[in-house]
Chains A and B, each alone.
Chain A
């Protein structure tokens, strides 16, 4: 008790100004917690099969909406009998990532290669089917968190290597390569994602020959990946520029070729420097996936807002609850990325002093 008093004297009430600031802050914290708690828990409705209980609790969250619709929020309109396929994809992804992150296994390299090669193929086969006796599930039946993750993960996995190549290209001594990289980067960086998605879904089919059908989700995936690559390229170029010229010269002087020198000397250092920017781009990309809603693809946010119109659930609290739920899910994923990136940064710290 005495220690608490001593601590608060020193840190909260040391001067008059200090005391004032502490009291204001405490009041702000109280107001926030009180508001959130009374909305989310005290005044909220938790049980019920339709809007009745939510209308009865007009000042609190309508959680039954979320629980009733959870299946659609996760899978969209993926056929109920086939949802085990999505579950396998989720479970394998989580297992693979988990093993890679904990960092206490000896076959890490092989696993990473597997996750980047076999896993996407397996995911494709499982999710869309039409092979190995799996029934075909069209992508317009996919939705919810499934679509959000498919777009975000594809964007992340494609944009990193493509971004590295573009960044190297922009710094290349070969004029044609440099010019092409600059044009690509500046084009994709200058176009809003919404425009890209509209172009992909409305304009592109006009240019394609008649009868040639190009999956709508695939078009979005390509658009998102290329846009993200352009951003990634500039983040990585920043890292490349931070590497002293002497490192390039030392690589040359011991006889390493351009690619070997990039792979062994320059990129390992540049990428570590770029981690905060890379993760920033990943997080931005993850949240930008919500824009696919406007071309008729129902990602997590899209499918949640779509269900606001369900006549069984017309209550003033339903949209608020839905948006809060969407926000929470997005926050959990983004925070996880940010938290993980910190541990990666520590592990690869260049100086070697933290090893």
Chain B
């Protein structure tokens, strides 16, 4: 367990009832590393990253984030959540608040940042996701791509060290995928540690340090994007790649 690993996952097991959804997962992520996780639906990839900020609890093995073991201690869970940002498929913005209010909520109420300071920070991040002019609108008034970019800004406002992306572009119309991916590429270039569950293979090639392929709750293959796409080892990987790149 080297010092530079910001996330260490050891022999992770998780069940949904009788269903063994994650089987003996081992994964270490270095600070600043970008990892893309792909695989067929139901392979456990979303569950895996949801375990990292304890949206799902695990049944066996250890998860250590930034040196803090993730167990049932509320203090540890809260600490880890303030260091780990998450972006959801369905955006999950708070519809009764403006964009700016969405962004300052956590800094003000979790970290106790004074409101003006939090607002300045929020505007800075809204600028970074390229929508500073929408700060006073409500989420319902924005397009899907804009909402997802607000969701990214909202997570960044907590100044996390790790960002988790759970199929961030799957609910978007094709013409909006690009604007969200561009923001994610920016973020990657600035050195953020990122774990992305996504099927955007172009993004994986361009940004990822490692691509992980999961099927039936197991990590089947992990490699650099070039080797992963050009020279897949496992038959299931080959089948999966041929299906999504296919035509």
B55 within 8 Å of A (CB atoms): yes
Residue of B nearest to A260 (CB): B109
Asked whether, in the complex, the Cβ of A352 is within 8 Å of the Cβ of B82, the reply is no
Other-chain residue from A246, A255, A272 in contact with B82 (beta carbon distance below 8 A) = A255
Other-chain residue from B55, B82, B94, B154 in contact with A265 (beta carbon distance below 8 A) = B94
B53 within 8 Å of A (CB atoms): yes
CA of A265 to CA of B94 in the docked complex: distance in angstroms? 7
Asked whether, in the complex, the Cβ of B94 is within 8 Å of the Cβ of A253, the reply is no
Number of B residues with CB within 8 Å of any CB on chain A: 29
CA of A97 to CA of B105 in the docked complex: distance in angstroms? 30
Asked whether, in the complex, the Cβ of A254 is within 8 Å of the Cβ of B155, the reply is yes
Asked whether, in the complex, the Cβ of B92 is within 8 Å of the Cβ of A255, the reply is no
Question: What is the minimal beta-carbon distance from B1 to any residue of chain A, in angstroms?
Answer: 25
One of B7-15, B83-91, B215-223, B235-243 at the interface = B83-91
CA of A244 to CA of B139 in the docked complex: distance in angstroms? 15
A250-290 interface bits toward B, Cβ cutoff 8 Å, 1 = contact, 0 = none: 10111111001000110011001000000000000000000
Size category of the A interface is 20 to 34
Q: Which residues of A contact B95 (CB under 8 A)?
A: 269, 350-352
Q: Which residues of A contact B154 (CB under 8 A)?
A: 254
Asked whether, in the complex, the Cβ of B141 is within 8 Å of the Cβ of A264, the reply is no
Asked whether, in the complex, the Cβ of A353 is within 8 Å of the Cβ of B141, the reply is yes
Other-chain residue from B55, B110, B138, B139 in contact with A255 (beta carbon distance below 8 A) = B110
Question: What is the minimal beta-carbon distance from B184 to any residue of chain A, in angstroms?
Answer: 17
Question: Which residues A188-230 have CB closer than 8 A to chain B?
Answer: none
A-B contact count (CB 8 A): 74
Asked whether, in the complex, the Cβ of B96 is within 8 Å of the Cβ of A350, the reply is yes
B126 within 8 Å of A (CB atoms): no
Question: What is the minimal beta-carbon distance from A209 to any residue of chain B, in angstroms?
Answer: 44
Asked whether, in the complex, the Cβ of B98 is within 8 Å of the Cβ of A352, the reply is yes
Other-chain residue from B54, B90, B106 in contact with A254 (beta carbon distance below 8 A) = B106
Q: Which residues of A contact B139 (CB under 8 A)?
A: 352
B93 within 8 Å of A (CB atoms): yes
The answer to whether residues A352 and B106 also contact, given A250-B88, A252-B81 and a CB cut-off of 8 A, is no
CA of A272 to CA of B94 in the docked complex: distance in angstroms? 14
Asked whether, in the complex, the Cβ of A272 is within 8 Å of the Cβ of B158, the reply is no
B140 within 8 Å of A (CB atoms): yes
Question: What is the minimal beta-carbon distance from B240 to any residue of chain A, in angstroms?
Answer: 27
A249 within 8 Å of B (CB atoms): yes
Q: Which residues of B contact A249 (CB under 8 A)?
A: 55, 88, 92
CA of A253 to CA of B152 in the docked complex: distance in angstroms? 12
Asked whether, in the complex, the Cβ of B92 is within 8 Å of the Cβ of A246, the reply is yes
Q: Which residues of A contact B81 (CB under 8 A)?
A: 252-255
Other-chain residue from B93, B137, B140 in contact with A250 (beta carbon distance below 8 A) = B93
Q: Which residues of B contact A350 (CB under 8 A)?
A: 95-96
A247 within 8 Å of B (CB atoms): yes
The answer to whether residues A253 and B53 also contact, given A351-B138, A355-B138 and a CB cut-off of 8 A, is yes
CA of A247 to CA of B96 in the docked complex: distance in angstroms? 11
Q: Which residues of A contact B98 (CB under 8 A)?
A: 352
Asked whether, in the complex, the Cβ of B138 is within 8 Å of the Cβ of A252, the reply is no
CA of A252 to CA of B92 in the docked complex: distance in angstroms? 11
CA of A350 to CA of B138 in the docked complex: distance in angstroms? 9
B78 within 8 Å of A (CB atoms): yes
CA of A247 to CA of B86 in the docked complex: distance in angstroms? 13
Q: Which residues of A contact B86 (CB under 8 A)?
A: 253
CA of A140 to CA of B247 in the docked complex: distance in angstroms? 86
Other-chain residue from B93, B96, B137, B141 in contact with A268 (beta carbon distance below 8 A) = B96
Q: Which residues of A contact B155 (CB under 8 A)?
A: 253-254
Question: Which residues B100-121 have CB closer than 8 A to chain A?
Answer: 105-106, 109-110
Other-chain residue from A246, A268, A351 in contact with B90 (beta carbon distance below 8 A) = A246
Q: Which residues of A contact B137 (CB under 8 A)?
A: 352
The answer to whether residues A254 and B55 also contact, given A246-B88, A246-B92 and a CB cut-off of 8 A, is no
Asked whether, in the complex, the Cβ of B138 is within 8 Å of the Cβ of A269, the reply is no
Q: Which residues of B contact A254 (CB under 8 A)?
A: 81, 85, 105-106, 110, 154-155, 158
Question: What is the minimal beta-carbon distance from A349 to any residue of chain B, in angstroms?
Answer: 9
Asked whether, in the complex, the Cβ of B78 is within 8 Å of the Cβ of A257, the reply is yes
Other-chain residue from B55, B85, B93, B140 in contact with A252 (beta carbon distance below 8 A) = B55
Asked whether, in the complex, the Cβ of B93 is within 8 Å of the Cβ of A255, the reply is no
Question: What is the minimal beta-carbon distance from B128 to any residue of chain A, in angstroms?
Answer: 17
CA of A244 to CA of B105 in the docked complex: distance in angstroms? 19
Question: What is the minimal beta-carbon distance from A290 to any residue of chain B, in angstroms?
Answer: 37
Q: Which residues of B contact A351 (CB under 8 A)?
A: 95, 138, 140
CA of A260 to CA of B78 in the docked complex: distance in angstroms? 13
Question: What is the minimal beta-carbon distance from B237 to any residue of chain A, in angstroms?
Answer: 30
Asked whether, in the complex, the Cβ of B96 is within 8 Å of the Cβ of A353, the reply is no
What 20 new A-B contacts, CB under 8 Å, besides A250-B94, A252-B81, A255-B81?
Answer: A246-B88, A246-B92, A247-B94, A252-B53, A254-B81, A254-B106, A255-B110, A256-B105, A256-B109, A260-B109, A260-B110, A265-B105, A268-B96, A269-B94, A351-B138, A352-B96, A352-B137, A352-B141, A353-B141, A355-B138
> Which residues does A use to contact B, with CB under 8 Å?
244, 246-247, 249-250, 252-257, 260, 264-265, 268-269, 272, 348, 350-353, 355
> Which residues does B use to contact A, with CB under 8 Å?
53-55, 78, 81-82, 84-86, 88, 90, 92-96, 98, 105-106, 109-110, 137-141, 154-155, 158
A-B pairs with beta carbons under 8 Å apart, 8 shown: A246-B90, A252-B55, A252-B81, A253-B155, A254-B110, A272-B96, A352-B96, A352-B140
The 5 closest A-B pairs by CB, nearest first: A352-B138, A250-B92, A254-B106, A246-B92, A253-B86
